[in-house]
């Protein structure tokens, strides 16, 4: 039976990998990942403004010329192409064919005003940068005019400094909690969609063998549990292969990015930048927890799907039978989205202990400190017990269901098979 198990896993895996759809989807994925990791280069090559050189003409009639301050602030502002800014201190009149030229004119009247002119719309970031710099100039000039000390203004405008102290939460603060909460959700998303993919593949494979009436021949050669476990193994190995390929595509994307950077076509750093160094200890913990919970939850959903799919005789049955699984997953997903709103609520805590929802909810609650490591261990134990229970009830029911082509409703058929398999087990 060991050899049959190995053969079934290998055969199922080979069929998936040799499909044209697998090849096409991976080519598309590779292209997408490369495009995303080189998004700025792509946009630029299609006429985006990442490498546009802007020339800014600055002119003011204030008592003190603020050109140096303006130039320094704009060049050091958040505009991504700041190295390609030319700031000139002179008056300029725009020509109709001037491209990427901005004229900034500051006037001292009763109140300091400014005019920004250009032929086309400019980068939003650059505009914001100019806007905030002009505000600074206005403040400084007004202060000088009113003879107010610069330090006083700074004190007036400076935001309040808060030293946050939480005695029961080991120095955590709300900002980091919010960030980590959001991060755990982002990390869960691929796992969530991964489970959906795995569950669908297992269900369809079993349904395919049953609906073509091949099951009778297959089951006469292989024990039901070997057959079921081979399906779970094949699909999960396939998911791992797909995951590894995705990582590989990411690496290829980054390498291509580095290549473009060397060729001076773009920026070597990724187009998104998240600094998580201060949270690294907790992130590692959360990722370990998510991984363990993912494996257990995935196994649970896969097992349930396999058992349910064995009941389906037609596509209509399959669609009916998959709906409870999808409802459970979506319910967990939305509870996870809304659980931060019920901070510390018992509802979310209880949900996190229910195996089907754990993966989506528990990591967030763990980060926010609503559940402890001990509770995570309890949750894992609950998962293991549930898995054993479903396996021991499900395998005999699976054997009955895969050979049941009766005309009863699909759920009625499922319940009938669970009951009759229990009876057979008890009689034995």
Partner 1 sequence: MLRVDNVTKRYGELVAVNKLSFEVKKGEIFGLLGLNGAGKTTTFRMILNLFTPDEGHVYLNDDVIGYEHSNEIGFLSEERSLLVKMTVLDQLTYYGKLKSLPTEELLKSIDYWLNRFNITKYKNKKIKELSKGNQQKIQFISAIIHNPKLLILDEPFNGLDPINVELFKEVILEFKSKGATIIFSSHRMEHVEMFCEKLVILVDGESILSGYIRDIKNSFSQQNIFIKGDIIPEDVSKIEGVIKVINHTDRFEVKIKNKNHVKDVFNYTSKCDNVSLFEVELPSLNEIFVSKVGVNYEK
Measured distance CA(10)–CA(342) in Å, rounded:
46
Smallest gap from Cβ 403 to partner 1, in A, equals: 6
Strand partners, 55: 86, 101
Helix (H, G, I), strand (E, B) or coil at 195: helix
7 is a site residue for partner 1 (CB under 8 A): yes
DSSP 19-51: SHHHHHHHHHHHHHHHHHHTHHHHHHHTT-STT
Q: Out of 149, 159, 220, 275, name the contact with partner 1 by CB under 8 A.
A: 220
| Residue among 333, 389, 319, 379 at smallest CA distance from 355 | 379
408 is a site residue for partner 1 (CB under 8 A): no
65: Cα separation from own chain's centroid = 49
The window from 95-103, 127-135, 183-191, 206-214 that contacts partner 1 (CB under 8 A) reads 206-214
Smallest gap from Cβ 206 to partner 1, in A, equals: 12
Helix (H, G, I), strand (E, B) or coil at 79: coil
How far, in Å, are 97, 192, 225, 416 from residue 421 at the CA level?
83, 32, 14, 8
Measured distance CA(124)–CA(129) in Å, rounded:
8
Smallest gap from Cβ 422 to partner 1, in A, equals: 13
13 is a site residue for partner 1 (CB under 8 A): no
Structure tokens at 25: 């989807």
Smallest gap from Cβ 230 to partner 1, in A, equals: 11
Q: How many residues bind partner 1 (CB under 8 A)?
A: 27
Q: Out of 64, 174, 208, 316, name the contact with partner 1 by CB under 8 A.
A: 208
407 is a site residue for partner 1 (CB under 8 A): no
Give residue for tokens 């073509």: 212
Which of 207/356 has CB closer to partner 1? 207
| Residue among 391, 386, 350 at smallest CA distance from 371 | 350
216 is a site residue for partner 1 (CB under 8 A): yes
397 is a site residue for partner 1 (CB under 8 A): no
The window from 182-190, 209-217, 247-255, 300-308 that contacts partner 1 (CB under 8 A) reads 209-217
424 is a site residue for partner 1 (CB under 8 A): yes
Smallest gap from Cβ 420 to partner 1, in A, equals: 7
Say if CB 358 and CB 381 are below 8 A apart: no
243 is a site residue for partner 1 (CB under 8 A): no
Which of 68/208 has CB closer to partner 1? 208
Give residue for tokens 């969609």: 193
Measured distance CA(311)–CA(307) in Å, rounded:
7
Which of 11/338 has CB closer to partner 1? 11
For residues 221 to 240, the per-residue mask of contacts with partner 1, x marking binding by CB under 8 A and - elsewhere, is xxx-----------------
343 is a site residue for partner 1 (CB under 8 A): no
Q: Where are the beta strands (DSSP E) in 222-263?
A: none
Smallest gap from Cβ 7 to partner 1, in A, equals: 5
The window from 8-16, 26-34, 103-111, 335-343 that contacts partner 1 (CB under 8 A) reads 8-16
How far, in Å, are 3, 325, 413 from residue 227 at the CA level?
12, 21, 21
Which of 169/216 has CB closer to partner 1? 216
Q: Out of 214, 258, 323, 372, name the contact with partner 1 by CB under 8 A.
A: 214
Give residue for tokens 């390929």: 245
Measured distance CA(329)–CA(335) in Å, rounded:
10
Residue numbers at the binding site for partner 1 (CB under 8 A):
1, 3-4, 7-8, 11, 15, 208-209, 212-223, 399, 403, 420, 424, 427-428
């Amino acid at each position: 039976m060991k050899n049959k198990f190995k053969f079934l896993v290998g055969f199922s895996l080979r069929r998936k990998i040799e499909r044209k759809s697998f090849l096409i989807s991976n080519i598309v994925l590779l292209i997408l990942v490369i495009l995303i990791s080189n998004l700025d280069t792509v946009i630029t090559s299609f006429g985006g403004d990442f490498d546009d050189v802007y020339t800014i003409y600055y002119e003011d009639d204030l008592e003190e010329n603020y050109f140096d301050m303006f130039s320094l602030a704009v060049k050091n502002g958040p505009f991504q192409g700041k190295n390609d800014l030319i700031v000139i201190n002179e008056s300029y009149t725009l020509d109709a064919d001037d491209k990427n030229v901005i004229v900034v004119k500051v006037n001292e009247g009763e109140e300091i005003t400014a005019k920004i002119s250009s032929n086309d719309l400019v980068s939003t970031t650059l505009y914001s940068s100019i806007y905030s710099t002009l505000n600074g100039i206005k403040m400084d000039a007004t202060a000088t005019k009113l003879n107010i000390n610069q330090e006083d203004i700074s004190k007036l405008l400076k935001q309040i400094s808060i030293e946050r102290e939480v005695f029961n939460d080991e120095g955590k603060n709300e900002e980091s909690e919010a960030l980590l909460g959001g991060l755990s959700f982002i990390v869960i998303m691929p796992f969530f969609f991964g489970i959906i993919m795995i569950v669908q593949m297992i269900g369809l494979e079993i349904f395919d063998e049953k609906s073509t009436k091949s099951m009778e021949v297959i089951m006469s050669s292989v024990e039901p549990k070997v057959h079921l476990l081979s399906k779970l193994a094949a699909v999960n190995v396939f998911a791992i292969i797909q995951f590894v390929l995705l990582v590989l595509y990411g690496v290829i994307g980054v390498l291509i990015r580095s290549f473009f950077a060397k060729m001076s076509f773009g920026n070597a750093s990724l187009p998104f930048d998240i600094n998580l160094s201060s949270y690294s200890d907790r992130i590692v913990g959360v990722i370990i927890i998510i991984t363990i919970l993912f494996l257990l939850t995935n196994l649970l959903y896969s097992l349930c799907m396999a058992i349910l799919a064995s009941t389906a005789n037609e596509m209509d049955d399959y669609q009916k039978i998959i709906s409870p699984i999808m409802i459970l997953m979506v319910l967990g997903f939305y509870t996870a989205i809304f659980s931060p709103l019920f901070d510390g609520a018992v509802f979310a805590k209880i949900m996190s202990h229910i195996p089907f929802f754990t993966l989506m909810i528990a990591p967030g609650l763990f980060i926010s400190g609503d559940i402890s490591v001990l509770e995570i261990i309890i949750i894992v134990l609950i998962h293991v017990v549930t898995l054993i229970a479903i396996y021991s009830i499900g395998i005999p029911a699976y054997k009955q269901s895969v050979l049941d082509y009766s005309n009863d409703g699909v759920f009625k058929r499922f319940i009938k098979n669970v009951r009759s398999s229990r009876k057979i087990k008890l009689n034995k």
